[in-house]
């Protein structure tokens, strides 16, 4: 039996869809009513929505049928066998599709006759049943120009290429589980796409906020600048790198030697009786600094 999951739409309607398929939500009645469509147009939109839902469900079932058929590769052919250890061509096709939830007849001729959707050779899709030699032989199309089948007595279930000889034997193809093909007007398709967008927006507006997330997102650790141990050269906390600068307080230079005191000029006194500035001496100096006179000034003996 095909497993199903329940999807709840914005209107509260429970819609059962096959697991693994792309669930199409039912048309929102509120959105449909807001468009004020006439009765005929509304029926066409609803009919097309049902049609495309069956198409999506069929693609999912085709994947399931192919998945089962691939697991039978290498098992021997036996006329009239339907598994699980042996198969003939139509027995393998019937069992694979029944495992996917679609009932089809036992023999090839009935399979082609009973399945509604007929398919041309150029329109084959994975999972389609492809018939050869007057529909006396059948296989499952797997895509890329290949098909899976149980060939004949003495052979095993395998995948063969759909080459020129096989194409010459082509006797038709069907798509189990799909509705009979029908053309739909572009206006109906566009209208249903519009309804989908409006319904999606309405469901998003009705969705409760996610309490697991907070609006304030903390700053990422790698985006926070790390405090560097080295200060930039132009910061006031960094000592000047000029080698001629005197360390404050008479401290020794980095190489351990004590720098010589800087000579200073004594300015000329503007008034004879005004005392000049006292010469500054370092408390750590052991010898007085040499007196240096200003230019063009003779020292007294």
Catalytically active residues are 89, 137, 149
The answer to whether 59 touches 128, Cβ cutoff 8 Å, is no
Pairing mode, if any, of strands 170-174 and 118-119?
antiparallel
At 101, list the tokens: 């939830």
Provide the residue count of the chain: 301
Of 184, 178, 180, the closest CA to residue 126 belongs to 178
Of 204, 243, 198, the closest CA to residue 31 belongs to 198
Distance CA 149, CA 169 (A): 15
Of 208, 213, 121, the closest CA to residue 173 belongs to 121
Residues 6+ apart with CB under 8 A from 72: 83, 87, 92, 96, 157
Strand partners, 87: 77, 82
The distance from CA 155 to its chain's CA centroid, rounded to whole angstroms, is: 44
Query: In a 10 Å sphere around its CB, with 0-12 CB exposed, 13-18 middle and 19+ buried, how is residue 280 labelled?
Result: exposed
- In degrees, rounded to 5, the angle at the alpha carbon of residue 54 between the alpha carbons of residues 200 and 147 is 125
Distance CA 240, CA 255 (A): 16
């Amino acid at each position: 039996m095909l497993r199903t999951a329940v999807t709840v739409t914005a209107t509260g309607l429970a819609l059962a869809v096959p697991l693994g398929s792309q669930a199409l939500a039912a048309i929102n009645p509120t959105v449909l009513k807001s468009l004020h469509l006439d009765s005929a147009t509304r029926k066409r939109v609803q009919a097309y929505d049902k049609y495309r839902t069956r198409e999506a469900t069929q693609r999912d079932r085709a994947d399931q049928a192919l998945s089962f058929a691939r697991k039978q590769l290498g098992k021997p052919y036996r006329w009239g066998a339907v598994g699980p250890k042996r198969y003939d061509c139509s027995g393998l096709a019937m069992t694979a599709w029944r495992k996917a939830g679609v009932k089809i007849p036992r023999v090839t001729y009935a399979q082609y006759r009973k399945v509604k959707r007929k398919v041309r050779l150029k329109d084959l899709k994975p999972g389609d049943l492809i018939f050869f030699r007057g529909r006396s032989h059948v296989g499952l199309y797997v895509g890329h120009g290949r098909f899976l089948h149980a060939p004949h007595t003495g052979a095993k279930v395998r995948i063969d290429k759909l080459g020129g000889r096989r194409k010459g034997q082509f006797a038709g193809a069907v798509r189990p589980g799909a509705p009979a093909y029908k053309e739909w007007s572009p206006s109906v398709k566009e209208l249903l796409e519009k309804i989908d967008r409006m319904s999606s927006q309405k469901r998003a507006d009705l969705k409760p906020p996610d309490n697991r997330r907070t609006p304030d997102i903390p700053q990422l650790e790698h985006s926070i600048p790390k405090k560097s141990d080295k200060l930039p050269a132009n910061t006031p906390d960094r000592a000047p790198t000029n080698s001629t600068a005197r360390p404050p307080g008479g401290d020794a230079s980095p190489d351990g030697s004590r720098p010589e005191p800087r000579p200073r000029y004594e300015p000329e006194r503007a008034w004879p009786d005004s005392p000049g500035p006292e010469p500054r001496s370092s408390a750590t100096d052991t010898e007085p600094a040499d007196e240096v006179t200003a230019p063009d000034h003779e020292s007294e003996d």
